[in-house]
Amino acid sequence: MTDATDLVHNYRECARGLWNTFLRGKAEPYKDFDAIDRFSRISTLLIEELVLRPLGVSTFAKTNEDEPYPFFSLQPIVESFPVMVARPSTSGRYWDDPISRLSSKGVLLLFIDFFDWDRFGYIDFQYYRVEIAKCDEHPQIIGRQALVDVHHARIIFEEARPH
C-alpha cells in the first residue's frame, strides 16, 4: 500500500488551475457542453501522466467516467466522516440520501475522480467522488456513488487489489 494523496492532489491542482485560469473563460456557461467534454478528455490525460505513470499503472484505461479506479481507495482520517450518498434515481444523480455519515471501519470507497457542483464555474474539486464497494454499517448503499470532502481522507494505492 502506498499513500498516493500527494500525487492525486497534484493532478487536482493542475486540472483545476487549467480550467479556472485558461479554459473556463472560453466556455459559454450552460451552453458549451463540448468544452466540458474536452476538459474531461484533458483531465484523463493529466491523471494518466501525473498519477498513473509514476505509480506504474499507465496502461489502465477507464471505460467510462463513472468507473472507479480499482487500485485507489479512500482511507478516512477520522472515525466517522460526513458523506453525501447518491440516492437511487433514473432522472439524474441526487446527493441527498438520508445517510450522511459513515464509520471508517468496514468501509471501502473506490476513487472515481474529483467533484465540483458547477462544472462551468470556478472549480475547487472539494470532494472525492467515490463508489461504495463495501459498507458493513449500511450494506444497502454498496454500489452507489458518494462524495467525501478531500480533508477527511487520504488516497491509498494498492496495485494488487482485485479488479
The residue extents of the domains of the chain are: 2-157
Cα–Cα distance for residue pair 130/117, rounded to 1 Å: 15
Residue pLDDT, tens place only, 37-61: 999 999 999 999 999 999 999 889 8
Whole-number pLDDT of residue 161: 59
Is it the case that residue 160 has pLDDT exceeding 80?
no
Neighbouring C-alpha atoms within 13 Å toward the C-beta of 68: 25
Residue pLDDT, tens place only, 98-138: 999 999 999 999 999 999 999 999 999 999 999 999 999 99
Among 56, 41, 50, smallest CA distance to 12 is for 50
Neighbours of 16 (CB within 10 A): 19
The alpha carbon dihedral of 62, 160, 57, 1 has a sign of positive
**Mean pLDDT value across the chain:** 94
